[in-house]
Chain A
């Protein structure tokens, strides 16, 4: 059975790029346009990995990660941040919140798939 990955980004074009790469590699994908939508998209279902942007309206990525880490069903779900942010401060915030990997845009699909295969839950 295909593993499910949640993509959270306010840019639908970027969600499309990630989605196509992941679907090609055989993953199922669900989406959210910001942190709030991302949490809503989890909806109690089994999610094996989350890929999220940092700067988003309504709820930013770091806040969303903090929220998710308080949820019993998802506190061990690995999270990759995919963002234009490359500053050490924001990376530290992500690391403290429980992020497992940090990818700076622009990214190459192969590179992302490599990170996904390393981190995805069995």
Chain B
């Protein structure tokens, strides 16, 4: 490229030298004519003609030279522009402009779409998780009410305890009734002993009657032996004997009745014994049945109560896990801000490239992209420490450390 430009400049300069040579030759010729042997008037006229011819030739050559120069300058400008274009193209990868113009907006749009999709998804997730937390809270609250209901008045546990108490009261009442019955039966047994006494008494009555009868008989014999004087006494003795016979019969009858009563009492006592035994058996059975039913119910109640507690505990754990997940979802907010900053810088860069390509300066040259301004804008859009670290060339790692609260 340098050789071509040099040749053109050389041609341009050599054309000017040629005009000067013609003009010099014209002046020399005119001088020689004036100084020659010709008459001075003729010589002056001839010299003037020679000068005029030399001037005309020189003017013609100068005009040609001007035109040539103009053409050469035009060619030079054209060559220079080509040179500039070529030099620009040589330092940048081929197709970089087009790539930036066409690809950067697509990247920008894709980043925006990704950011919006992520934002939407995280917001949906967050809303759902929050909904879950609310539902779990409601479930735990309801379970708490049920559990406290179990333990308070009207609850399952309280109802169970009350039922157990009432059933035990029934058993106690029944036990007391049985004990009272036993006292009654003991009294009936006491009657049996009284019957024995009655038997002894009736036996005594019979014996006294026999002895009285014997005495009356002896008295009758002694009255008969006394003759007339003993007649009245014989009547008395007969009456006494008759009374003794009657009392003997009464004694016998009493004994029969006492034996009948004794039999009845014995039968009653036997039945009482059987009843007592049966009552005790029923009592034992009832106690065992009630204890068994209450034991089963207690197991069930404890199981229900335990399940409710376990469910509450699990629910609380799940709720806490979800809360932790929600806390972790905070990354979306920071990520969104970082992506917004990237989007805005990409959009600005695209605009600058478009302007550079489509709006050249007054010389028809592309405007320079203000990279410093772009970097400044990018830096001013940072909100997170990660962005600053990335900007300084250090790879930012998501921090899990707690940020200190600053109080003013």
Q: How far apart sit A120 and B405, CA to CA, in the bound complex (Å)? A: 15
Q: How far apart sit A118 and B383, CA to CA, in the bound complex (Å)? A: 27
Tell me the minimal C-beta distance from A46 to chain B in angstroms: 24
Taking a contact as CB atoms under 8 Å apart, the answer to whether A101 and B407 are in contact is: yes
Q: A13-B332, A115-B405 are in contact. Are A20 and B127 (CB under 8 A)?
A: no
Residues facing A in B307-350 (CB within 8 A) are 323, 326-327, 329-334, 336-337
Q: A11-B332, A12-B127 are in contact. Are A95 and B408 (CB under 8 A)?
A: yes
Q: Is B385 an interface residue (CB 8 A)?
A: yes
A84's partner among B123, B323, B333, B408 (CB-CB below 8 A) is: B333
Q: How far apart sit A69 and B346, CA to CA, in the bound complex (Å)? A: 38
Q: How far apart sit A87 and B130, CA to CA, in the bound complex (Å)? A: 31
B123's partner among A13, A24, A83, A118 (CB-CB below 8 A) is: A13
Interface centre among A21, A91, A95, A104 (most CB of B within 10 A): A104
Residues facing B in A66-122 (CB within 8 A) are 83-87, 91, 94-95, 99-109, 111, 114-115, 118
Q: Is B160 an interface residue (CB 8 A)?
A: no
Q: A101-B407, A103-B403 are in contact. Are A17 and B330 (CB under 8 A)?
A: yes
Chain B residues near A19 (CB-CB < 8 A): 130
Chain B residues near A85 (CB-CB < 8 A): 383-384
Q: How far apart sit A99 and B407, CA to CA, in the bound complex (Å)? A: 9
Contact with B along A19-32 (1 / 0, CB 8 A): 11100100000000
Tell me the minimal C-beta distance from B405 to chain A in angstroms: 5
Q: Please, which residue of chain B has its CB at the minimum distance from the CB of A108?
A: B402
Chain A residues near B384 (CB-CB < 8 A): 84-86
Q: Is B150 an interface residue (CB 8 A)?
A: no
Q: Give the size of the chain B interface in residues (CB under 8 angstroms).
A: 29
Taking a contact as CB atoms under 8 Å apart, the answer to whether B383 and A83 are in contact is: yes
Q: How far apart sit A106 and B326, CA to CA, in the bound complex (Å)? A: 11
B408's partner among A83, A100, A106 (CB-CB below 8 A) is: A100
Taking a contact as CB atoms under 8 Å apart, the answer to whether B406 and A101 are in contact is: yes
Q: A16-B129, A17-B326, A108-B327 are in contact. Are A11 and B333 (CB under 8 A)?
A: yes
Taking a contact as CB atoms under 8 Å apart, the answer to whether B123 and A105 are in contact is: no
Taking a contact as CB atoms under 8 Å apart, the answer to whether B327 and A12 are in contact is: no
Q: How far apart sit A94 and B332, CA to CA, in the bound complex (Å)? A: 24
Q: Please, which residue of chain A has its CB at the minimum distance from the CB of B125?
A: A13
Q: A19-B130, A20-B130, A105-B333 are in contact. Are A91 and B406 (CB under 8 A)?
A: yes
Interface centre among B327, B331, B332 (most CB of A within 10 A): B327
Q: How far apart sit A91 and B133, CA to CA, in the bound complex (Å)? A: 34
Taking a contact as CB atoms under 8 Å apart, the answer to whether B334 and A118 are in contact is: no
Q: How far apart sit A13 and B124, CA to CA, in the bound complex (Å)? A: 8
B333's partner among A13, A87, A91, A103 (CB-CB below 8 A) is: A13
Q: Please, which residue of chain A has its CB at the minimum distance from the CB of B404?
A: A104
Q: How far apart sit A47 and B350, CA to CA, in the bound complex (Å)? A: 46
Contact with A along B332-375 (1 / 0, CB 8 A): 11101100000000000000000000000000000000000000
Seen from chain A, the residues whose Cβ lies within 8 Å of a Cβ on chain B are 9, 11-14, 16-17, 19-21, 24, 54-55, 83-87, 91, 94-95, 99-109, 111, 114-115, 118
**Could you give 29 example pairs across A and B, Cβ below 8 Å?**
A11-B123, A11-B332, A11-B336, A13-B126, A13-B332, A13-B333, A16-B129, A16-B130, A17-B323, A20-B323, A21-B323, A54-B383, A84-B383, A84-B384, A85-B383, A86-B385, A99-B408, A101-B405, A101-B407, A102-B406, A102-B408, A103-B406, A105-B330, A105-B334, A106-B334, A107-B330, A107-B403, A108-B402, A109-B323
Which 3 pairs show the lowest CB-CB distances between chains A and B?
A13-B126, A104-B403, A16-B130
Besides the known contacts A84-B337, A99-B408, 5 further A-B residue pairs in the complex with CB atoms under 8 A apart: A13-B127, A17-B326, A20-B326, A105-B334, A109-B323
